[in-house]
Amino acid sequence: MTESASQPIRIPFPDGLLETGIAVAVADGQEIVVLKQDDGYRAVDRWCPHEEGDLGEGMMYGTNIKCPVHGYIFDLARGQCINQFTMSIAVYDVEVDGDDLLLTQLSETKGREW
Ligand code: FES
């Protein structure tokens, strides 16, 4: 997704999210990663804009996620990469609605190098 969504995107609650704290899902045709945080959930685009690392295998550091390939770190509030300021990832606010999640896009993926 490259443009801000005006309407939330509804997806089923991903399998395994409660157990592992991280799950890959599809939202509006795009692969995303849903992450459990202390105060709820967050979602990001699955593929790192650097060289397509799989953020579904990323490691969470508090309010950040670290790409497993070269270690770039993205903040989960705005999607900004703290290693490369021209780069960011799409971040989604996540609301639980029954058995579903409602995703609202907060930022866009920028600086893709692949
Ligand atoms: S592919 Fe993610 S940091 Fe290089």
Q: E strand or H helix at 41, and its extent?
A: strand 40-45
Q: How many residues does the chain have?
A: 114
Cβ proximity of 70 and 53 under 8 Å: yes
How high is the pLDDT of residue 52? 97
Domain residue limits, the chain: 9-105
**pTM for the full predicted model:** 0.91
**Residue 90 has what DSSP assignment?**
-
pLDDT tens, residue by residue, 18-47: 999 999 999 999 999 999 998 899 999 999
Q: How far is the CA of 13 from the centre of ligand 1 (A)?
A: 27
Q: How confident is the model at residue 6 (pLDDT cuts 50, 70, 90)?
A: low
Q: How far is the CA of 50 from the centre of ligand 1 (A)?
A: 5
The minimum-distance atom of ligand 1 relative to the CA of 83 is 3
* Fold (CATH) for 9-105: Rieske Iron-sulfur Protein (2.102.10)
Mean pLDDT confidence for 89-98? 97
d(CA 1, CA 33): 13
Which residue has its alpha carbon closest to ligand 1 atom 4? 70
Mean pLDDT confidence for 77-94? 96
How high is the pLDDT of residue 5? 47
Alpha carbons within 13 A on the beta-carbon side of 30: 22
Using CB distances shorter than 6 Å, the residues near ligand 1 are 48, 50-51, 53, 67, 69-70, 72
